[in-house]
Structure 1
Amino acid sequence: MNTATRVPDLAVRVRDRLAQRHPGASIGELRTLPGGHSGLTYSVTAGDSRYVVKAVPEGQRPVGRNDVLRQARVLTALAGSDVPVPGVACVDRTQPAWFAMDFAEGEAVEPVLDDQEVPAATARARMLEIARVLRRLHATDVHSPGLDPPEPLDAAGELMRWSRTMHAVPEELRPGGEELLQRLADDVPSGMAPVLLHGDFRLGNVLCVGERAAAVVDWEIWSVGDPRIDLGWFLLFADHRNFPRLGHPVPGLPTEAGLLDAYLDGRPALPAMDWFRALGRMKMAAIMGHNLRRHREGKHHDPHQERLPPTIAAMIRTARDILGGP
């Protein structure tokens, strides 16, 4: 469906609400904001203020990544906390729902993957900075007013969920994947107290100004659960060699151990982190395999996906290496 057909109606609703917030101010046009992956994402001005608008696409249910009200809820819960997030300006629950949040200045660059260059010292400082931000996120009270946490994610549930995704990928696109899934299933670690999880925590989802983390964005898949789920994913992005044919070498980035030290800040080491590091690699292999399959089946034409097989294989191979044994 052409979601552009909904823009005039959405624009009227946004203009009316922002006009109430900024009496007499000129309200600009909705402009598509590149990089938005949940629903529709726009920028809009109201006088001297600038906002990002996220909306449910016309004809789609407000679930999963399209549940923009759920995103607004976690941002509202984190407002004024030690975790920097954009402020929520207004929420319209009338379907198709939308909300507007403050436009946060900064750049979100994944050093080992994005083409945009960041000085090596700056990239290093940012990674250590957001490791500490992740620690503060995980210290958030999951029963904060309005958060209404979902059922907690544990290691077994996360493995089951992503095993389904991996099994949907043809075997020839996931060499060694079945053995990896079995080895993960054979040694599922016991759980930890649930914390607030971002779900896709990495530099590519944190707006930075200089070396400072200005705003954590892209909360489409937040949840509560085992903190090692977030950590295992975050650590993937410390080394370009995890991404053959995709990654860029960045000298001086923190190692996975260095990032864990910054996160722990003197606290005891977390048990079974190797299992969660391997889980993160399995998840990445499953996601890339899924995207490659869709491309080859003609469901989403993107020749860039043909660069993925070496990285998929590397993710599975290194995950097995991390788990040790034969």
Structure 2
Amino acid sequence: MTLEHRVRERLSAESGAELTGFERLPGGHSGLTYRAVTTDGTYVVKAVPEGREAIGRHDMLRQARIMRALAPTEVPVPRIVVEDDSEPAWFAMEFVSGESLEPVLDDPAVAPEIAAARMRRAAEVLPRLHAVALGTVPGIEAALTPADELARWARTLGAVPPELVTGGDRLLELLGNRIPEPLAPTLVHGDYRLGNIIAAGTEPVALIDWEIWSAGDPRVELGWFLVFADGTNFPEVGRTVPGLPSAAELVDHYRTGGPALPELTWFDALGRLKMAAIMGHNLRRHREGRHHDPDQEKLPATIDRLIETGTALLAG
């Protein structure tokens, strides 16, 4: 039975809704994403790719589980409608109207004043996620420390040919020389940025793409978010958006008068290493012919900038 037929049957059984349209949406490297139009409204369906095991990023029901757990909290997430654990597993969630665009990277370009407002609001919403009691989250694994995070990304960087990430070994060394002590672990999204937040105007209405949620140090998430606050981090592949809030301002919006967050510079540098490693990995796959995409040839300048600025943050 095709996925479309399975979705049709379950939605009909659950709500009596008749499926009138079913189309695949672009993207979806970790899972397949579809728009399901019914007589009762529109839903988004995420499914495990055919032939893939439902583990890690491909575990669709793990994503549904965290969104169900967050439904009664102040973290904005789509409402889960149906889950189906027969292989390949899938779930359906409500379709949330709005835009999910990374101002410094995505097209179409976002007006600077809207981009700035969205970034400030995202910084204010993030503490809601980090305030969720871990005991209320089913199936959560042991928290990763900053040392764990660094080891993980050292492995990713190590899988990239050194000539594609020039200076990465030096940045890795500097990070390893001063690993911060962990803070109390929190729930983390893993890829918190405007590209994964649906906004209605300037208001965040849904945090999406929960492939890599976990427990961890909240500063790791904040450091990653800050990488996208400055378009100069992405030469040739991004744009500079005038008027975006500075990293310091975003941290202030996140803290809202709370205690200082120690050693944030280290986490800012770690975020840059992570992005450089990801881009180096993507460039390697392209050049090896595993995922042909000529746009990947624009990445070297950004990789260099991320490594250079990350190194400067720690070497200074």
Bin of the TM-score, shorter chain as denominator length: over 0.9
What is the DSSP-based 3-state SS (H/G/I as helix, E as strand, rest coil) of the residue aligned with 2:141?
coil
Report the residue type matching 1:71 in the other structure.
Q
Correspondence 1:44 to 2:62: no
Partners of 1:299 and 1:43 in 2: CA distance: 28
Residue 284 (1) aligns with residue 275 (2): yes
Deviation for aligned residue 1:147: 2.3
Q: Which residue of 1 aligns with 2:10?
A: 17
Runs of 4+ displaced beyond 3 Å? none
Code of the residue aligned with 1:193 in structure 2: it is A
Aligned with 1:254 (options 245, 250, 253): 245
Secondary structure in 1 matching 2:29: coil
How many residue pairs match? The answer is: 316
CA contact (8 A) 2:60 2:90 kept: yes
* Pairwise CA RMSD: 1.1
Task: Give the aligned partner of residue 63 of structure 1.
Answer: 55
Partner of 1:86: 78
User: What are the residue-to-residue correspondences of 1:1-326 with 2, within 5 Å?
Assistant: 9-23=2-16, 25-144=17-136, 147-325=138-316
Q: Deviation of residue 98 (structure 1)?
A: 0.6
How many angstroms apart in 1 are the aligned matches of 2:242 and 2:158?
A: 36
Higher alpha-carbon deviation: 121-130 or 28-37:
28-37
1:91-139 superposed Cα distances (whole Å, 9 cap, x missing partner)? 1111211110011111001111112122211111100001111111000
Residues 8-34 of structure 1: per-residue CA shift (max 9 Å, x gap): 5211111111001232x3212321012
Q: Is the 8 A contact 1:11 1:29 kept in 2?
A: no
SS at match of 2:122: helix
Q: How does the TM-score come out when normalised to structure 1?
A: 0.95
Give the secondary structure class of the aligned counterpart of 1:28.
strand
Farther off after superposition, 292-301 or 37-46: 37-46
TM-score with structure 2 setting the length: 0.98
| CA-CA distance at 1:175 after TM superposition | 1.1
Q: How far 1:247 sits from its partner (Å)?
A: 1.8
SS at match of 1:313: helix
Question: 1:259, CA displacement in angstroms?
Answer: 0.6
Secondary structure (helix, strand or coil) at the match of 2:93 reads strand
Point out where structure 2 has 5 or more consecutive residues left out of the alignment. none
Give aligned-pair identity as a percent.
55
